[in-house]
Amino acid sequence: MNLIDIDSEICTACGLCIVECPFGLLAQQTGDVPDLIPGGESFCMRCGHCLAVCPVGALALDGETPESCDPAQTGAVVDPPAMAALLKNRRSIREYKDRPVPRKDMQELMEPVRWAPTAKNEQPVHWLLVDDRAAIHDLARLTVEWAREIDRMPELVTAWDAGKDLVLRNAPLLAIATAPSDGLSPVIDSTIAASALELAATAYGLGSCWAGYFMRAAQQYGPIAERLNLPRGHQVCAALMMGYPKRTYHRVPPRKPADVTWLGSV
């Protein structure tokens, strides 16, 4: 099987796959069906742009045919007011109802998050979903243990000793994104994926909050990595507390004006 197969009976030689390839790995003689340049297979990142852009469905990539793809929506998938409302109404949720998050909902939610962009389409992000309350409590305990050992963030330690969890906030679910530490951009890839999950979760009535204390501890404290039993070579890159919000918010609080500088002539 070739990396790229083009059906010569369907192809119109329009050249869109050539101009769409990020690395210029396709070429064609005048009027001929495009073909992969010599050595092109080594540089192809299987992004699928050539497969997606072909208007007649003549191209297959790495065994994936047009028939195996979902049809793309043309134009704006979400109108500007709806997108603005999604972004403006996002809140960092730190108090949750005592209600578990159904695994079925999380499984559905994780499906579209797979399309979050990653460097060179490596798709390195691995998700560890923790919905065992005792395990989440223990991860919070280890984070406080780390803070106590390094003598930092005394507010965490004081609150914990008083019976209050400021680390993971008694969340019913913890979503942890990990990636190989020797990848191109593991933290950025995971952060983008977690941001996608954070926004997508609102469709299921879920709220979330970045677990910053836990993230720092997991990257520096060996016992947490051991407790998580991460895939070999992986590091914790992002984490979200998740659950059903305990409160209802009735207004959107203000933010500073956008800090924007234009570079270029008017």
Which pTM was predicted? 0.94
Domains and CATH numbers, the chain: 4-68 (3.30.70.20), 93-243 (3.40.109.10)
pLDDT at 1: 73
Residue ranges with strand state E in the chain: 4-6, 26-27, 35-36, 59-61, 126-130, 173-180, 207-210, 234-243
Share of the chain above pLDDT 90, in %: 95
Lowest average pLDDT, out of 77-81, 87-91, 92-96, goes to 77-81
Q: Is the pLDDT of residue 109 over 90?
A: yes
Residue 239's nearest CA partner among 223, 207, 216 is 216
pLDDT band at residue 77 using 50, 70 and 90 as cut-offs: confident
Using 50, 70 and 90 to split pLDDT, how confident is the model at 266?
confident
Mean per-residue pLDDT, 233-247: 98
**Average pLDDT rounded to a whole number, residues 40-56:** 96
The chain-wide mean pLDDT, for the chain, equals 96
Give the mean pLDDT of 214-234. Answer: 96
What's the pLDDT score for residue 10? Answer: 95
Mean pLDDT of 69-86: 92
Neighbours of 197 (CB within 10 A): 23
Reduced to 3 states (helix: H, G, I; strand: E, B; else coil), residue 94 is: coil
The number of C-alpha atoms within 13 Å of 199 and in the hemisphere containing its C-beta is 15
